[in-house]
Amino acid sequence: MDTLPIRAAAIAIGLSLAALPALGSSCGTPEEVKAAQLRQFHYQLQVAALNCRGDDPSLPGKWSSYIHHHGGTMSVNANVMRGYFTRTGKGVAGFDRYNTVLTNQESVRVHETEGYCEINAPLFDKAIASNSQQLVALAGEVIGKPLDITPCAEPKKASAENKPKKKN
Burial label, 47 (beta-carbon count in 10 A; 0-12, 13-18, 19+): buried
Q: How far apart are CA 75 and CA 55, in angstroms?
A: 30
Contact (Cβ atoms closer than 8 angstroms) between residue 75 and residue 89: no
Q: How far apart are CA 50 and CA 11, in angstroms?
A: 19
More confident residue, 27 or 160: 27
Q: How far apart are CA 8 and CA 25, in angstroms?
A: 29
Q: How far apart are CA 106 and CA 120, in angstroms?
A: 12
pTM for this prediction: 0.77
pLDDT band at 12 (very low <50, low <70, confident <90, very high): very low
pLDDT score of 110 more than 80: yes
pLDDT band at 22 (very low <50, low <70, confident <90, very high): very low
pLDDT score of 132 more than 60: yes
Could you report the per-residue pLDDT of 62-102, keeping only the tens digit for each? 999 999 999 999 999 999 999 999 999 999 999 999 999 99
Q: How far apart are CA 12 and CA 109, in angstroms?
A: 13
Q: What is the pLDDT of residue 157?
A: 60
Domains of the chain by residue range: 32-144
**Residue type at 67?**
I
pLDDT band at 153 (very low <50, low <70, confident <90, very high): confident
For residue 8, the Cα-to-chain-centroid distance in whole angstroms is 25
User: What percent of the chain has a predicted confidence (pLDDT) above 70?
Assistant: 77
pLDDT score of 107 more than 70: yes
Q: How far apart are CA 30 and CA 35, in angstroms?
A: 9
Q: How far apart are CA 89 and CA 77, in angstroms?
A: 19
**DSSP type of residue 27:** E
Contact (Cβ atoms closer than 8 angstroms) between residue 59 and residue 48: yes
Angstrom CA distances, 81 to 31, 93, 142, 164, stand at: 10, 12, 19, 41
pLDDT score of 46 more than 50: yes
What is the number of residues in the chain?
168
